[in-house]
Structure 1
């Protein structure tokens, strides 16, 4: 194999540093997990299989970064909107020099040269490619091929790894080791890809919706969602973005989901005729492709790009396509493990000087399949982007209060801690307090859709911006409701919601209807981008991290959101939570009233009194 010869070069280079002193120190366990339900050990991992190890070094000043983040994101604070530069953020997350030196020394002691190490701009991540045989030696562990029956995914993982004692305080985590993630798109399998006939019409009278543009919405929007429907429903018909004020929007693509430019043309002809002849920029991360063969068009990618970019035209738009996806099939002899693409995208975007101000992601996984230290570090990466003025929206999930299975009857809601206890299953990254999680609605007037992911984290503490809204919601529950099935004292989600059913997209040249919170995230992101355009056109900074603003507006100006009070999100054998007045664990504060939000965020004034 060519890999073996290239590895020999690395070893040869390593001899140049072999004279460095080696520390003799016992290894002790750094992390140990139980394999998540549904994963089975198949066989020992091939010794020459290459793993790209990402080593996270501690960020001793992260608390200071978090303080800056909340100050620049708090609409009551004098620093609101004064986002940090890339250089300022990098300085705040940089590890101690001692950590850098000791980790480098450890890597060179195993024959790795400095040239084989890739470092993040802040030096808080070091990446090296090593064969399984060396990774097992470095980490005093054994890797195996694991198989996930439900998704047909295979991963090379271990359930425990160790480090020399002196390195424990200098390394937060190493992956891929204990992360068993299937990283799926949030597209409901119940409401997806239903073929429709071109030119479908509905001659019924408009539906009266007082908060909509002109107070009414086309009757056809009750069965088919278009860009026009969303702009009517969310009170944005009369707003056209500049397209020339520096505003940008982006969506992320993974798992070989390709966005078809030919389908986008048909979509624009059908719904956004002014955009015909335009397209989006494709940015490849880690060798990501965007193949344009008709049969390779992805429903997820087409949904995200067509609606996010259709709502915001003529705002410059980017599709990030990130290479690497499961499954790794061990008998094919795949030379390099490429099934952890998400960290690669985060490393890439954080290295950019001017990332798009609004980015939507419609992918995620069950929170309990993600090791706590990994979830924490990824969540902290989102905080870095927020501090720099980037708004991040994520789909809240399609399993209600249950796992990713959108059919409540077949969900398995058991803990991974060996107890197999019944427990509501949170989604990640939706449960991270530094992103905006978007739940789902349907129909006009809107109600919660049953698969809208929502509930409570099992990892992240509740941030102060959520305290009043979530406590008010919990106070409405009958005493003992779902006792033991969730922790009422932690981060809750979703934060907001948007339509998520029967979106008319074009796929392989044909119109289809598709649904899921995969639709709600790019939709809400589209309206956030319009708000950013309105601010930038007035010389104001972008909104950045949204949640402190959302919860302040929800308390001070609730009419800026369309409160959803009908519906629930069943799962785990229960009816789930109910939608209710104000924030709830099904639809958050509800869907956006763009006109009201624009008045608030372009006024240059605070929202009024501060809530304790």
Structure 2
């Protein structure tokens, strides 16, 4: 009798083992509290197409990280021995078992190999499927969510599940729980304003910084030009080459387009040699990014970035990347596809590229808390891969001081998005990624911290070893109990460095404007990184690659320490710029002459 019972149960057991993944018991993979500021507008249309990205665990990322730190440490024997694209991909490739398990799961939902786009390393899978299918796959329910402040809409869920047998084979899936408001980091405090057609001559004598001996034209306290930046940062007499294998790049998103005619006008105004050479940038479209050249389409952010990054580094070959898409979904427009943050499309593209620019700046980002930690970590891992290949990456630190960027103190609540509504300083992402060089802002000469300079400490990423000593010194000097509970003292400190960030003379639609924000600081700093790479390449040395271990060690003496100013926000005065590293201006601003000697 007992034997007959066992025999009769065997087919059921075999059937259970043979069931496709879609019939297995699901378990929650990730869940978030509905974030503050977002409300449900209605159910997501069943036929709405979602571009779903699935991250498989990277089999040997720890080894990649170890190698990245070795080749980025100026005192290590392997310094500068950057990895090839293929070596990086081998380290982040998923385990075959993960590939097979996820492929079988997709197949059980009718998604064949021809429907799957795989990254070169195979660690990201992308499929386009209707909401109705995604809801079944992830045992969830999508809604259209509306952002109260901006009026924008996105299609998201607050939790999703996976079959239990898949949990260890998937790191994350998006778009699901990401409610970011990816945005330009042009300051909302110092907005774009029209400028005089000619730079106003100053009858005042040049300004001398008694601490450094640097002399700067008096006009630089009201208008920042290429000449001003070269004077302030000790690069007046340096001449780079166009023929040593150097390169520099700028990323563009959210319908921001760089205008070539404006670049020529800018060059005529500030870089005569570039104007004479009719110099321009190489354009690359990412995911259908456009390149309109009508003056009405010229973007203030894009023009600021390319004019100053490429103006400083001329004649270094330059590239502007135009990445299509933005997160908001328009309920009544028939939008065909809902996407992630556009910078992940750019990251996919650039990692697949055999020869990315050696120095790249971005001036866009999110409040860190609006980006799920799992997603932030995977995007950050992508930045690490670029660093391992010899690419230097900079990002603006943000324009909200220690806050969330709201210029109105009455509404700048700085509340957490975890359902507890605690007051907390708001770090930015991707500036909080330890594999990126975050650039804060200064103003005037002699320099002081600009009030909107984003700074603080990550709640996702622990403080990396390269900045441990510097940040500990800053924290130790803080009066006991300062902002207790408002920031994570063990988090990655932001920013790493700083540069001028206000009164930039930019041409938009043929007319000059004055622009401020750390969106100016990052392309400025990357311009000087390109010049440093030029100096190294001329001597047969490799590119600088991931900068931070160098900046906090051998190169620390190559910075102008900023010791005045602060970055208010969240109803506080924020942090003070102080001697040494601080959470307003980082290590300070570059002295190109000193840095060149230190890195060559």
- CA drift at 1:203: 2.4
User: What whole-Å deviation, never above 9, does each CA across 1:112-171 have from its counterpart, x for those lacking one?
Assistant: 110110000100000000000100010000100111122222110000000000000000
- CA drift at 1:596: 0.1
Aligned to 2:303: 302
Aligned to 1:134: 133
Question: 1:181-196 to 2 correspondence within 5 Å?
Answer: 181-196=180-195
Aligned to 2:207: 207
Q: Distance in 2 between matches of 1:116 and 1:326?
A: 23
Aligned length: 579
- CA drift at 1:296: 1.1
Aligned to 1:8: none
For residue 438 of structure 2, give the secondary structure of its aligned residue in structure 1: strand
Aligned to 2:315: 314
> Is the Cα contact below 8 Å between 2:174 and 2:340 reproduced in 1?
no
- CA drift at 1:204: 1.4
Question: 1:14-413 to 2 correspondence within 5 Å?
Answer: 22-23=20-21, 24-199=23-198, 200-209=200-209, 215-276=214-275, 277-338=278-339, 340-413=341-414
Aligned to 2:588: 590
For residue 250 of structure 1, give the secondary structure of its aligned residue in structure 2: strand
Q: Which moved more, 1:341-350 or 1:200-209?
A: 200-209
For residue 338 of structure 2, give the secondary structure of its aligned residue in structure 1: coil
User: What whole-Å deviation, never above 9, does each CA across 1:74-100 have from its counterpart, x for those lacking one?
Assistant: 011000000100000000001100000
User: What whole-Å deviation, never above 9, does each CA across 1:22-42 have from its counterpart, x for those lacking one?
Assistant: 244101100000122111110
TM-score w.r.t. the length of structure 2 is 0.95
User: What whole-Å deviation, never above 9, does each CA across 1:53-93 have from its counterpart, x for those lacking one?
Assistant: 00000012110000000000001100000010000000000
For residue 265 of structure 1, give the secondary structure of its aligned residue in structure 2: helix
Aligned to 1:549: 550
Q: Distance in 2 between matches of 1:36 and 1:494?
A: 26
Question: How large is the Cα RMSD of the aligned pairs?
Answer: 1.2
Q: Distance in 2 between matches of 1:29 and 1:359?
A: 37
Q: Distance in 2 between matches of 1:113 and 1:147?
A: 34
> Is the Cα contact below 8 Å between 1:449 and 1:569 reproduced in 2?
yes
- CA drift at 1:50: 0.3
> Are 2:434 and 1:436 equivalent residues in the alignment?
no
For residue 552 of structure 1, give the secondary structure of its aligned residue in structure 2: coil
Q: Distance in 1 between matches of 2:137 and 2:547?
A: 41
For residue 347 of structure 1, give the secondary structure of its aligned residue in structure 2: helix
Q: Distance in 2 between matches of 1:111 and 1:451?
A: 51
For residue 204 of structure 2, give the secondary structure of its aligned residue in structure 1: coil
- CA drift at 1:340: 2.9
> Are 2:599 and 1:601 equivalent residues in the alignment?
yes
> Is the Cα contact below 8 Å between 1:327 and 1:339 reproduced in 2?
no
- Identify if the C-alpha distance between structure 1 residues 504 and 462 changes in structure 2 by more than 3 Å, giving closer, same or farther: same
For residue 55 of structure 1, give the secondary structure of its aligned residue in structure 2: strand
Q: Distance in 1 between matches of 2:224 and 2:554?
A: 27
For residue 384 of structure 1, give the secondary structure of its aligned residue in structure 2: helix
- CA drift at 1:262: 1.1
Q: Distance in 2 between matches of 1:492 and 1:242?
A: 35
Counterpart of 1:581 (choices 575, 579, 582) is 579
For residue 330 of structure 1, give the secondary structure of its aligned residue in structure 2: coil
TM-score w.r.t. the length of structure 1 is 0.93
Q: Distance in 1 between matches of 2:189 and 2:463?
A: 32
* Structure 2: runs of 5 or more not aligned: 1-17
Q: Distance in 2 between matches of 1:88 and 1:125?
A: 17
Q: Distance in 2 between matches of 1:207 and 1:103?
A: 63
Q: Distance in 2 between matches of 1:284 and 1:407?
A: 37
> Is the Cα contact below 8 Å between 1:504 and 1:513 reproduced in 2?
yes
Q: Distance in 2 between matches of 1:566 and 1:303?
A: 26
> Is the Cα contact below 8 Å between 1:386 and 1:434 reproduced in 2?
yes
Aligned to 1:6: none
For residue 498 of structure 1, give the secondary structure of its aligned residue in structure 2: strand
User: What whole-Å deviation, never above 9, does each CA across 1:448-484 have from its counterpart, x for those lacking one?
Assistant: 0000000001000111111100000011101111001
Q: Which moved more, 1:186-195 or 1:296-305?
A: 186-195
For residue 268 of structure 1, give the secondary structure of its aligned residue in structure 2: helix
Q: Distance in 1 between matches of 2:55 and 2:214?
A: 52
User: What whole-Å deviation, never above 9, does each CA across 1:365-423 have from its counterpart, x for those lacking one?
Assistant: 10000101001101111110000000000000000001122444531211111110111
